[in-house]
Structure 1
Amino acid sequence: MFARENARELPSEMGELRRMIDEVDAEIVRLLDQRARLARRVGEVKRERGLGAYVPSREREVMDRVFSLSEGDFPKKGLEMVFREIISCSISLEARLKIAYLGPETTFTHEAARRAFGSSVEFEPQASVPEVFARVERGEAQYGVVPVENSMEGAVTHTLDELMNSPLKVCGEVYLPVSQNLLSKEETLDEVSVVRSHPMAIAQSAAWLRKYLPWAKVEEVESTGEAARNAASEPGVAAVGSELAAEVYGLNVLARNIQDSRVNATRFIILGRSWAGATGKDKTSVVFSVKDRPGVLKDALSAFADEGINLTRIESRPSRKRAWTYVFFADFQGHPEEERVQRALARLEEYCPYVSVIGAYPEAPPEVV
């Protein structure tokens, strides 16, 4: 008897729940329209004052506030994705943004650019890191996205070399887990006879390929995006690449996370004409050279230690001005608006003939697979 009563009550309860969801959806749409009107007005004010549409410090503030308001019923990751797209749409209403990135489409840099800016702005793939810098420097794109380091492979030297001489500033960062996947139009591993990808992606997945596809011929191509295009058009071909590539080219994901290391992530930087404002949880990037004497690097780094500033990365690169001379790239926690950072940079200049702050931006939490 109880079961029959429940069966009769269920349709009416479902109907009521769906009616309530429809009401919530209607309110969400109404509020989104209201937000869009406000965003258009913000865009007008920014244009009147000569301000940029993309403000990383404000975006961090919005995201932090959204997370604090949530009661936890809606998953945090989903909340972040929803508001990333809301912010992206709002930016597109304020101004038309072009984002240059190291292409082609569906590469990890493309994915990082989408994570930073959402999908409502215009993305322009470039063939090399210098071309990304050049597009932004010439004003043909407002921002650029390039990789700067990998947790397994270390620094991306092309990016460091461009930062050394470019007037552009680092205004943001994105960490992206390197998740390699086997993509193909085929439906089973048995149907795969050729695997193609960028040399680094192949190297990162070598052990898995040897174990599960020992019969397949492995071929290197220019990018994971090119490999995905090949897999979409040629029978028997699989690509090692991102799930974004599978989505764009209509490929099956035959295997996920086939990379040998589960803690592999890449850090990307966002390039603009000025650095970001302070948020209270920031990073600053600086490049400097040192005088040729014993202990000078130790003395230079003491400028940060004495102020209690944490260095998160330091790299050396040839200066390209004189043989066997080097410059140092360093990232540290803090912002140039802070007094302790100003004191540290002043101390650094006492030991170094050249010091340049090349960026300040909200610190992104590192992500790993």
Structure 2
Amino acid sequence: MTDINNELAKFRDQIDDIDQQLLKLLNQRASLAQSIGHVKAKTDAPVMRPEREAQVLDKLNAANQGPLSAQHINTLFKEIMSACRSLEREVQVAFLGPLGTYSEQAVWAFFGHCVQAEPVETIEEAFRQLHAQQVDFAVVPVENSTEGSVARTLDALVESKAQICGEVQLAIHHQLLCQTGTLKGIRKICAHPQALAQCRNWLQQHAPNIEQEAAASNGAAAQLASQDPTVAAIAGQAARERYGLKAYQEHIQDDAHNTTRFLVLGHQCTGPSGKDKTSIVASVPNQPGAVYKMLEPLNAENVSMTRLESRPARNGRWEYYFFIDLEGHQTEPAVKKALDQLQKSASFLHVLGSYPAAQRG
């Protein structure tokens, strides 16, 4: 045992030495971040540049030889960048609350934990606070791999002057949570309507006789369950921990690959990162071939379209808005030319933003 302890001590001493080196280097990095902050303050430049942070992660992952994975590198350096960024100024972010929602998880995934995260009651309130410049960014859900788009986000984007600065794709693992960890005495299951739909088959099989009720968010449902022993909530691990609930069952989503995409909205235009998306919303005259003419420039310029969805314009004239995601940044020649041509055939065109694509590395 003594030999083993001596061997472990040798490794631990090496780790201690490396930790001291890391501490010194991290403080050097933080000092440089403070200097950058002083330079930015002269021109009121944004504290956070999503394209720059995406490029940093890309370079690190390209140089990484393991054993740390790309996910490890991304997690570690997002927190390092978040801490250094906060020395310039603490970024304020609105998200769909309350605490314990998947939207809150998306905030931490994109910004790291050294930000001031502000929960709001509705998606519309997140947009309002952003427009009023009460916050620097807002994080809102936009689509789910099982249930499709979030209509309230799409409707708000049409009128918004905010720019999409980034995106987060979050794996959704639903749990059925309550105070006791059993269904005995449970009279109602609460969740966001999309969460109820994402667990439809499981609920029909395991809780067919329990009333279901929609909530503003899964976090709000978990908060209610923590206050009422007759209520169970569909929510994630963060809500389970925050509200001290127990799981009757984990992973109750019908689709094992259930994923929700969140948009990060801000006031600034994001520069090219090297691997970008551009999101637009457009409308065309209600006449034969109009949609084809709208999309034809994308084909002509070989610009890949990764998403196309229509949404009623709500003007009573059976007109539609088309939400389109493109590969590439709007400043790239092919994308710029395609958008210029699309502008000629569209009755309405709004570029929602260009931003680094998610799932890098």
TM-score, normalised via structure 1 length: 0.90
Q: Is residue 31 of structure 1 aligned with residue 25 of structure 2? A: yes
Q: Which of 105, 116, 127 matches 1:122?
A: 116
Q: How far 1:207 moved relative to its partner?
A: 3.2
**In 2: Cα distance, 1:216 partner to 1:120 partner:** 41
Which residue is equivalent to 2:280?
286
| Greater gyration radius | 1
Q: Is residue 193 of structure 1 aligned with residue 186 of structure 2? A: yes
| Number of equivalent positions | 359
SS in 1 for 2:128: helix
SS in 1 for 2:279: strand
1:208–1:353 Cα change, 3 Å = closer
The letter of the residue matching 2:19 is: D
Q: How far 1:234 moved relative to its partner?
A: 4.2
Residues 208-227 of structure 1: matches in 2 within 5 Å?
208-212=202-206, 218-227=212-221
**In 2: Cα distance, 1:230 partner to 1:199 partner:** 16
Residues 34-45 of structure 1: matches in 2 within 5 Å?
34-45=28-39
Q: Which runs of 5+ in 1 are unaligned?
A: 1-6
Kept after mapping to 2: 8 A contact 1:176/1:265:
yes
**In 1: Cα distance, 2:48 partner to 2:164 partner:** 13
Q: How far 1:365 moved relative to its partner?
A: 2.9
Which residue is equivalent to 1:49?
43
The Cα offsets for residues 82-133 of structure 1, whole Å up to 9 and x where unpaired, read as: 1111111122111121101122221111111221111110111112122111
Q: How far 1:70 moved relative to its partner?
A: 1.9
Q: How far 1:204 moved relative to its partner?
A: 2.2
Q: Which moved more, 1:221-230 or 1:332-341?
A: 221-230
1:208–1:315 Cα change, 3 Å = closer
Kept after mapping to 2: 8 A contact 1:192/1:238:
no
Which residue is equivalent to 1:142?
136
Q: Is residue 70 of structure 1 aligned with residue 64 of structure 2? A: yes
**In 1: Cα distance, 2:31 partner to 2:97 partner:** 34
Q: Which runs of 5+ in 2 are unaligned?
A: none
**In 2: Cα distance, 1:216 partner to 1:288 partner:** 43
Q: Which moved more, 1:29-38 or 1:315-324?
A: 315-324
The letter of the residue matching 1:62 is: V
Q: How far 1:253 moved relative to its partner?
A: 4.0
The letter of the residue matching 1:242 is: G
**In 2: Cα distance, 1:192 partner to 1:277 partner:** 54
**In 2: Cα distance, 1:214 partner to 1:322 partner:** 39
1:127–1:235 Cα change, 3 Å = closer
Residues 1-369 of structure 1: matches in 2 within 5 Å?
7-186=1-180, 188-189=181-182, 193-194=186-187, 195-212=189-206, 218-235=212-229, 237-321=231-315, 323-365=317-359
The letter of the residue matching 2:137 is: Y
**In 1: Cα distance, 2:329 partner to 2:321 partner:** 21
1:39–1:200 Cα change, 3 Å = same
Q: Which moved more, 1:346-355 or 1:224-233?
A: 224-233
**In 1: Cα distance, 2:21 partner to 2:325 partner:** 44
**In 1: Cα distance, 2:264 partner to 2:234 partner:** 26
Q: What is the Cα-based RMSD across aligned positions, in Å?
A: 2.2
1:20–1:353 Cα change, 3 Å = same
**In 1: Cα distance, 2:25 partner to 2:212 partner:** 52
The Cα offsets for residues 20-76 of structure 1, whole Å up to 9 and x where unpaired, read as: 111122222222211111111111111112211111101111111221232211233
The letter of the residue matching 2:29 is: R
SS in 1 for 2:59: helix
Q: Between the two proteins, what is the percent identity of the paired residues?
A: 37
**In 2: Cα distance, 1:106 partner to 1:251 partner:** 12
Which residue is equivalent to 1:3?
none
